[in-house]
């Protein structure tokens, strides 16, 4: 009976223990928390250092940022659907929702790049003031993480598509990416609240 259970769940085989992999990834996320905490702290200190330039109230358009937020939060929901398909062993469902998640993540980056381009075009680039330097660094670091997450998603989708069956190793990797993606959503909620809303109120 025990032998049948082990065969049915390949992710429990001795050569690959997912709990250790996921725990190690949690440790990595803690280091990312420290990085973002430091960037938030820097922004808090520099948030009123305008050097005679525009403030957040002059520059930020909340409806556009709210759209970015909605897109990213929706991508977190669609990734959840992908994980449901993964746990059921349904590759088609998994790959479909991964594709939707990827498109939403890419749309978020496009919106963010449009915002950056607009700010730079009106002379509010990162070199204009300490406020803008800290803003571009914080938001840009988050955008870089989203980009890496999308690349990771492509790699995992290719691995899943090539294999005839979803393995325990792939499920563990998808779980780690899930943690990473949801973590980025939490960070962005902080950015939306602490950077954008607090700057215009």
All domains of the chain, ordered by start, with CATH? 18-44+71-200 (1.20.120.80)
Distance between CA atoms of 40 and 196, rounded to whole angstroms?
Answer: 12
Cα 83 to Cα 23, 26, 35, 77, distances in angstroms:
18, 18, 28, 10
DSSP letter for 167, please. Answer: -
- For residue 20, what pLDDT is reported? 72
Q: Cβ of 91: how many Cβ atoms within 10 Å?
A: 17
- For residue 194, what pLDDT is reported? 94
Q: Phi and psi for 54 in degrees, rounded to 5?
A: -70, 150
- For residue 19, what pLDDT is reported? 56
* Contact present, 183 and 29 (Cβ < 8 Å): yes
Cα 85 to Cα 3, 8, 82, 159, distances in angstroms:
25, 17, 5, 16
Per-residue pLDDT of the chain (201 residues; tens, 9 = 90+): 444 333 344 444 444 444 577 778 888 899 999 999 999 999 999 999 998 889 999 999 999 999 999 999 999 999 999 999 999 999 999 999 999 999 999 999 999 999 999 999 999 999 999 999 999 999 999 999 999 999 999 999 999 999 888 888 889 999 999 999 999 999 999 999 999 999 888
* Contact present, 71 and 104 (Cβ < 8 Å): yes
Q: How open is the CA angle 189-193-195, to the nearest 5 degrees?
A: 110
Total length of the chain: 201
DSSP letter for 89, please. Answer: T
Distance between CA atoms of 10 and 171, rounded to whole angstroms?
Answer: 10
- For residue 153, what pLDDT is reported? 97
């Amino acid at each position: 009976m025990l032998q049948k259970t082990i065969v049915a769940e390949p992710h429990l085989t001795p050569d690959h223990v997912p709990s250790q992999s996921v725990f190690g990834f949690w440790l990595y996320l803690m280091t990312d928390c420290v990085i973002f905490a430091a960037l938030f702290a820097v922004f808090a200190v520099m948030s009123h250092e305008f050097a005679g330039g525009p403030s957040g109230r002059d520059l930020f358009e909340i409806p556009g940022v709210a759209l970015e937020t909605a897109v990213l939060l929706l991508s977190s929901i669609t990734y959840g659907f992908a994980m449901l398909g993964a746990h059921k062993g349904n590759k088609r469902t998994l790959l479909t929702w991964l594709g939707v998640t990827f498109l939403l993540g890419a749309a978020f980056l496009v919106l963010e790049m449009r915002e950056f381009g607009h700010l730079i075009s009106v002379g509010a680039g990162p070199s204009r003031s300490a406020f803008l330097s800290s803003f571009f660094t914080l938001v840009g670091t988050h955008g870089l993480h989203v980009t890496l997450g999308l690349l990771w998603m492509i790699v995992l989708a290719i691995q899943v598509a090539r294999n005839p069956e979803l393995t325990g190793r792939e499920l563990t990797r998808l779980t780690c990416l899930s943690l990473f993606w949801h973590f980025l959503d939490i960070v962005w909620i902080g950015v939306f609240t602490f950077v954008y809303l607090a700057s215009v109120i």
